[in-house]
Amino acid sequence: MRPTVLIVDDHSGFRRMARRMLENGGFDVVAEAVDAAGALAAVHKHRPQLVLLDIQLPDRSGFAVADTLAVGTDPPVVVLTSSRSASDYGSRIGRSPARGFVPKAELSGPALAELFQAAG
């Protein structure tokens, strides 16, 4: 069975590219969201195993969304992403309950699979 994924990003071009890449990489993209509110609703509705979460969203930060998801029952694995470098966020990524970080330019099915499998 393919792992299920929710893609959260406010840029439609990135969501399309990520969907194609992840589906070709063995994931089943069950939903997409453009902001934090949509992400939380989609997690509640679709119960994805993994959330690919942009750090910079229009209504809340991805860090805040990751914190909210971590306190739920049976939380999904969260992987943060950004067009910025991990070093731009200092220690915030390490303090986050997210499983890890993948820069948008380095996103691939295998990179995401590695972080997802490490969580299992």
**Mean pLDDT on 73-77:** 93
The Cα–Cα gap between 114 and 34 comes to 25
What is the share, in percent, of the chain residues with pLDDT greater than 70?
98
pLDDT, tens digit, 9 for 90 and up, residues 24-70: 999 999 999 999 999 999 999 999 999 999 999 999 999 999 999 99
Instruction: Reply yes or no on whether the pLDDT at 119 is more than 80.
Output: no
pTM above 0.85, yes or no: yes
Instruction: Reply yes or no on whether the pLDDT at 76 is more than 80.
Output: yes
Dihedral sign (CA 42, 81, 36, 19): negative
Q: Which structural domains are found in the chain, ordered by start?
A: 4-119 (3.40.50.2300)
